[in-house]
Amino acid sequence: MIGTAAIAATTTAATPRNTERAPLLTAVTQCRAVADAAARLACFDKSVAALDTAEANMAVVVIDRQQVDETRRNLFGVALPDTGLFGSGNDLSQIETTLTRASVDDSGRWSFVLANGTRWTQTDDYIIARPPRANDKVLIKRAALGSFRLSVGGQPGVKAKRQI
């Protein structure tokens, strides 16, 4: 069973999200209206085969809610056009994770690698009182004018930028 799923036909990023169902999914759901059991089964077989082929050829992508949420968390801090595929681009106001490692450069600014592999760099000159350690809790919040505040181990936050 597909469960909660998002099905998106491949399009360009600049194209607004179409809120109608993909034609291949519509074909599958319309089979329920076929009265004759043998004809309904044939309809399902045909439409599911077409949907399966389209998915295998990457013409249709099927993702569940958990994958959508994980993708949104992993894209937090990355400026992308809002295609509507993963909800509104500004839905997440903050993320919480753990620190994998941190290092400081010659100017005293920190670089952070988080548990999900994302990298963040301090952009202001505020001093972090206690040096960050692996497994410290990290909280990153959206701030004014598209900036972000990153707090490590419960300390006051510093301005930070996501590195790509």
Per-residue pLDDT tens digits for 97-154: 999 999 999 999 999 999 999 999 999 999 999 999 999 999 999 998 889 999 999 9
What is residue 4's predicted lDDT score, i.e. its pLDDT?
42
Nearest to 17 by CA among 104, 87, 101, 67: 87
What is residue 128's predicted lDDT score, i.e. its pLDDT?
93
Six-digit token string for 82: 């809002």
Q: Does 158 have pLDDT greater than 80? A: yes
pTM over 0.85: no
- Beta bridge partners, 102, equal 112
The three-state secondary structure class of 111 is strand
Mean pLDDT confidence for 78-90: 64
CA-CA distances (angstroms) from residue 92 to 10, 28, 75? 25, 33, 10
Percent of the chain with pLDDT over 70: 81
